[in-house]
Amino acid sequence: MMRLIISALSLLFVAGCATKTFVNQQIEPVSCKVDILESKENKLETRTSGLESRAGLLETRLNALETQLNSLPKTFDLNPADRSLLNNATEMGRRATESADRSESAAKAAAASAATAEQAANKATKAFELGQKK
């Protein structure tokens, strides 16, 4: 999208009084910054997708554990080994929930970073456009 805007701006200026070399010199720094921001955004999107996938798997595991726990009788006498297994399962469920919460938080942070990168790219484009009007 940004490349299209930059290309359109390039064509606009090439058709005007500026030389092609001058326009390329002016656009190159902005284009490099946009490329860097797009690269960072792609990395964040990839990481976010991975975190969302991982959170989904953890949520599935947690639901399976909750189903198993709910199927157990509510009151019964457990021997120490079974009590230990139940405590471990409960702890695993708690950790899975915490991990899913952290993954969701990281995904939100990644989305916010992507939005910030997009805003920075827009500001750079506007700054470039304002600089060309002078």
What was the pLDDT predicted at 105? 87
pLDDT at 125: 81
pLDDT digits (tens, 9 = 90+) for 47-67: 888 888 888 888 899 889 888
pTM for the model stands at 0.41
Distance of CA 10 to the CA centre of its chain: 31
Give me the pLDDT at residue 25, please: 79
Task: Report which secondary-structure segment, H or E, holds 86.
Answer: helix 80-133
Q: What is the DSSP letter of 65?
A: H
pLDDT of residue 128 exceeding 80: no
Q: Is the pLDDT of residue 46 over 70?
A: yes
Alpha helices, DSSP H only, in 16-79? 20-71
Number of domains present in the structure of the chain = 1
Tens of pLDDT along 89-110? 889 888 888 888 888 888 888 8
Chain-wide mean pLDDT for the chain?
A: 80
Rounded Cα–Cα distance for residues 131 and 134 (Å): 6
In the predicted model, is pLDDT for residue 88 greater than 60?
Answer: yes
Q: Tell me which residue range forms the domain holding 37.
A: 2-133
- Whole-number pLDDT of residue 121: 84
According to the model, what pLDDT value does residue 14 have? 55
| Residues 70-86: tens digit of each pLDDT | 887 776 677 888 888 88
